[in-house]
Amino acid sequence: MSRPRPPRDVPSELSTGRVVASHGRELKVAGSDGLPVACRLHGRKLEAVCGDEVRWAHQPAGDAIAIVYEVLPRRRTLERLNGLGRGEPVVANLTQLVAVAAATPTPDWFVVDRYLAGAAWAAIGAVVAFNKCELGVADEAAAELAGYTALGYPVVRCSTRGEPGIGALVAHLAGATSVLVGQSGTGKSSLLNALAPEARAITQEISVATEEGRHTTTHAALHLLSGGGALIDSPGVRDYAPPLPQIRDIGSGFVEIASIAAGCRFQDCLHDAEPGCAVRGALASGEIRRRRYDSYRRLLALGRDFDARFPERRRPPARVR
């Protein structure tokens, strides 16, 4: 899709800024002085998400709402898969994604895997954070975290209420533009408040009845960190899927599968039921973790389902520009 051209009636002097909050057509844009300005998107074709760089100007009549005329090209964008099988931007111009799980609610590691795969496909760095550690870390969670460490992902244990604190997370955020993602109620907004106290993000106890978060955060918001870098808080999810590549490339979102796949008998092996599959061999020997392989198989099934429903997905996308 081509980027909409700037409209004709644009003021000659535009400022450049970054979207720090987006509510549909209404945005908050921080300029070079860091102060947020209330803005509205010009024209229906423009779309902006938190983290976007935009060009904007005050209205001549002195209207309190300024106008965003242009959204600059995005670099690394976190996207989610929409119902039509396409990617929809969630936050733009990131360097790093922090997948947050916690002692409570019960972690859904498949969600973590899908964020990590999505980060890999979008060339965004990824960190796994395990919050509420002052409550203790169950054996199952400790095994999953050790699994991510073995794959080379930085794993950070943290707590906003006690030991081990947030120091290890601070070290990973310095200088980066990061987004906190994960299930509702894992403490993303609480971590943001601990890291950038002026953020004053709303937080809420998880439900006693369902032991799930209450989906307290409804819009992504960006805050500057005193140690340099920026942190974006995002709404918690029940589930997440990134836009999927062609199904033969889904294994590239799983580092252990990608590194072993070269040993498969067939170059286009999907590590499903093919003979001579090195990945399934590694699964049998315990070199690849069963839960991660299951995670891969779930994404493969999702890819096949989308291929059946949207045949155009099977063709590599036409090159734009």
Ligand X SMILES: Nc1nc2c(ncn2[C@@H]2O[C@H](COP(=O)(O)OP(=O)(O)OP(=O)(O)O)[C@@H](O)[C@H]2O)c(=O)[nH]1
Pairwise CA distance, residues 148 & 78, whole Å: 20
According to CB under 5 A, which one of 159, 177, 178, 189 is a site residue for Mg ion? 189
The entry of Mg ion, Zn ion, ligand X, none that residue 45 binds, CB within 5 to 8 Å by partner kind:
none
In terms of Cβ atoms closer than 10 Å to its own Cβ (0-12, 13-18, 19+), residue 152 is exposed
The SS3 of residue 317 is coil
Q: What string of DSSP letters covers 137-184?
A: --HHHHHHHHHHHHHT--EEE--SSSTT-SHHHHHHHTT-EEEEEEBT
Q: Is 217 in the site for Mg ion (CB under 5 A)?
A: yes
According to CB under 6 A, which one of 15, 216, 252, 259 is a site residue for ligand X? 216
Phi and psi at residue 298, to the nearest 5°: -65, -40
**Touching ligand X, residues 45-104 (CB under 6 A):** none
For ligand X, give the closer residue by CB, 93 or 203: 203
Q: Is 289 in the site for ligand X (CB under 6 A)?
A: no
The entry of ligand X, Zn ion, Mg ion, none that residue 272 binds, CB within 5 to 8 Å by partner kind:
none
Nearest residue to ligand X by CB is 236
**Touching ligand X, residues 186-205 (CB under 6 A):** 186-190, 203-205
Q: Which helix (H) or strand (E) holds 291?
A: helix 290-309
Q: Is 186 in the site for Mg ion (CB under 5 A)?
A: no
According to CB under 5 A, which one of 66, 92, 133, 277 is a site residue for Zn ion? 277
CB of residue 161 vs Mg ion: minimum separation in angstroms?
Answer: 16
CB of residue 183 vs ligand X: minimum separation in angstroms?
Answer: 7
Residues 199, 112 contacting (CB under 8 angstroms): no
Q: Is 132 in the site for ligand X (CB under 6 A)?
A: yes
Q: Is 269 in the site for Zn ion (CB under 5 A)?
A: yes
Those residues whose C-beta lies under 8 Å from the C-beta of residue 304, and which sit 6 or more positions away, are: 247
How many Cβ atoms sit within 10 Å of the Cβ of residue 9?
Answer: 7
Q: Which helix (H) or strand (E) holds 309?
A: helix 290-309
Site residues for Mg ion per CB under 5 A? 188-189, 216-217
Site residues for Zn ion per CB under 5 A? 264, 269, 271, 277, 279
